[in-house]
Amino acid sequence: MHSNFSDLSSGMDQAAGLRRLRPLKPVQVLAVSSGKGGVGKTSVSVNLSMAMAMAGKRVVLLDGDLGLANVDVMLGLQPSYNLANVLAGDCTLDDTLIESSHGLCVVPASSGKRHMAELSQMQHAGIVQAFSELRRPLDVLVVDTAAGIADSVITLSQASQQVIVVVTQDPSSITDAYALIKVLNKGHGVQRVQVLANMVANDAEAREIFESLRRVAERFLDVTLSYLGSVPQDEWLRRAVRRQRAVVDVYPNCPSSAAFHTLAKKALSWSSPQGARGNLEFFVERLVQRSAV
């Protein structure tokens, strides 16, 4: 019988019992978010995930834009199940996994289903907790959230060890990125954010974007912004999108591919979680190395 979010407790108890039988490796969870749409957030999620998979890591990419999903489209995948089916009790989370190039696994969401974009906080928490039952061993979970400050964005960002906010030189992108960071910090205790400047002309432009955000955040918020890096404006990336492929896969020597590999190397250098941060987190049982009992 497939699990259902309306009755998580029994399945969770069974899964917890099984997990206590063996040590489990901590999982790094990264949320990729943005204040507004159109900044290339999903492209960043896809290519960062693929670059980490190409580096030999076991990576799962979760499409967290629950009502307007497009990760599967960007990778040319045709899933049989998605998170809407899990929520309806039609399948388990493992059933939704679909493999792309280099062993990257994707958990697809649904597109054009309004009820998925309007889930309650309890249902968002149910999706998060369902990952405790995921049987596939992995090193990194990348969450491509929706744009903006909807409940799903807050829950999924709060559930991650690292939040990456994608921003461009567009003034509205910077303003909306600050609004997202403010909500995460003041309302939900997120105290560190990685900033990624996307579609920039050069590193100087990327640094200027970051500094404009950092100055305001430093003045008004209790948050630490770190400069993750940048991805250049690149025609090869646009071609990859049209081909429904990751640019790091089909055009490995182009400028944007080099940038994504640099970003992946930096992300993989972050220390693994040593314990729950105190907020709602993915893999509650798997975040900390457990000893066999």
Give pLDDT, residue 256: 98
| Residue 283 domain-assigned (yes or no) | no
Q: 256 — phi, psi (to 5°)?
A: -70, -35
Q: For 255-269, how does the pLDDT look when each residue is reduced to its tens digit (9 = 90+)?
A: 999 999 999 999 999
| Residue 127 domain-assigned (yes or no) | yes
Q: Give the pair of three-digit tokens for residue 86.
A: 């899990």
| Residue 208 domain-assigned (yes or no) | yes
| Residue 12 domain-assigned (yes or no) | no
Strand-strand pairing, 28-34 and 192-200: unpaired
- Quote the mean pLDDT of the chain: 83
Domain that includes residue 134, residue range: 28-268
| Residue 289 domain-assigned (yes or no) | no
Q: Give the pair of three-digit tokens for residue 260.
A: 């994504």
Q: For 276-291, how does the pLDDT look when each residue is reduced to its tens digit (9 = 90+)?
A: 443 444 443 433 333 2
Give me the CATH number covering residue 141. 3.40.50.300
DSSP 26: -
Domain count across the chain: 1
| Residue 279 domain-assigned (yes or no) | no
Q: Does 103 or 128 have the greater pLDDT score?
A: 103
Task: Tell me the whole-structure pTM to 2 decimals.
Answer: 0.84
| Residue 276 domain-assigned (yes or no) | no
Q: For 156-175, how does the pLDDT look when each residue is reduced to its tens digit (9 = 90+)?
A: 888 888 999 999 999 999 99
- Answer yes or no: are the C-beta atoms of 163 and 182 closer than 8 Å: no
- Answer yes or no: are the C-beta atoms of 109 and 64 closer than 8 Å: yes
| Residue 293 domain-assigned (yes or no) | no
Q: For 125-146, how does the pLDDT look when each residue is reduced to its tens digit (9 = 90+)?
A: 667 666 766 777 889 999 999 9
